Amino acid sequence: MALEGHWWGTITSEPGSGGDIFNTKTIAQPNASGYTISGTKHFGSGSGITSFMVTTAVPAGEVEPDLFFLDMRNVPWDGSSGVRLLFPWDGHGMIATQSHAMQFENFPATRAAWPGNIRSLGAGVSGFIACCFTAVIVGIVETAIESARQRLQARHTSMRPYEQVEWLRITQEGWLIQQAYQGMLRTIEAKGSAANYDMLLGKTAVAELAESATSRLCKVMGGGTYARYSPFGFWFEDVRALGFLRPPWVVAYDQMFAGAWPTD
């Protein structure tokens, strides 16, 4: 279906789950043609743009959630077909992503072809997903730094001490972001799914560096970056997404701490 040009997204997150898919409350009921799901989901990035959405639900009678996908093509969001738009996305950043909150009520869902294996499927792809999330943010930081460089070119010889120091910190952080991302690619190519811990370190490091670098950029470029006519404030808000993307900060730090003591 992807080959036919269809876009896929995920709407796994649920309010009150603390970003942990094993806290999923949505229920999947089996029927003659598959399953239907009922529950509340939010942060469905790509809603209205994607044809299919991956989600999680606990199959009735089972204890762990499993993976499902939803065919969202031509589905109205008024509740008449089992999908209701609860809250339209109003993010400070990633504003074009339509990461809406949705209520599902007996909405048809297709279960993963290898049921009951969410943990091994997750372990198989989480490093790759971390690279994909990180790549987007690396691109934003690159664009932000290059745009600032072009705008500062004419006046760089008269930059004041604070601006000079901040610019060099931006340069260092931009360089570290590139090294971290290259390191992620090298490690996943060498170790495959055994690289998941390294991917988490890399994603989290880039999230922290990107927030820092784009915040400094706003200060160097001046107060105008607070206005919506300037792209720098948007870039700052956009990169803030990375730390919240799965696994979000708290879950990421839990996993990194566990990974730091692998023999426990």
Our CA angle for 125, 130, 134, nearest 5°, is 150
With respect to ligand FAD, which residue has the nearer C-beta, 197 or 244? 244
Q: How far is CA 245 from CA 83, 132, 151, 248, in A?
A: 24, 11, 31, 5
Radius of gyration of the chain from its Cα atoms, rounded to whole angstroms: 21
The answer to whether 12 contacts ligand FAD (rule: CB under 6 A) is yes
Please give the torsion angle defined by the CA atoms of residues 204, 209, 212 and 218, in that order, rounded to the nearest 10 degrees. Answer: -120
With respect to ligand FAD, which residue has the nearer C-beta, 111 or 246? 246
187-195: which pairs have CB atoms within 8 A and are 24 or more residues apart? 188/127, 188/128, 188/131, 192/127, 193/123, 193/124, 193/125, 193/126, 193/127, 195/127
CA atoms of 191 and 189, how far apart (whole Å) = 6
**Could you tell me the two tokens for 192?**
């495959």
Report strand pairing: 66-71 vs 100-111. Answer: antiparallel
What mask of x and - would describe binding to ligand FAD in positions 22 to 51, judged by CB under 6 A? Answer: -x-------------------xxx------
With respect to ligand FAD, which residue has the nearer C-beta, 7 or 226? 7
Of 203-262, binders to ligand FAD (CB under 6 A) are 241, 244-246, 248, 250
With respect to ligand FAD, which residue has the nearer C-beta, 43 or 52? 43
The answer to whether 52 contacts ligand FAD (rule: CB under 6 A) is no
Minimum separation from the CB atom of position 32 to ligand FAD (A) = 29
CA atoms of 217 and 234, how far apart (whole Å) = 12
What mask of x and - would describe binding to ligand FAD in positions 63 to 102, judged by CB under 6 A? Answer: ----------------------------x--x----x---
Residue of 11, 70, 170, 200 that binds ligand FAD (CB under 6 A): 11
With respect to ligand FAD, which residue has the nearer C-beta, 86 or 176? 86
CA atoms of 31 and 115, how far apart (whole Å) = 16
**From 11-19, 32-40, 223-231, 256-264, span contacting ligand FAD (CB under 6 A):** 11-19
8 Å CB contact between 45 and 10: yes
With respect to ligand FAD, which residue has the nearer C-beta, 99 or 103? 99
Binding stretches for ligand FAD (CB under 6 A): 9-13, 16-19, 23, 43-45, 91, 94, 99, 241, 244-246, 248, 250
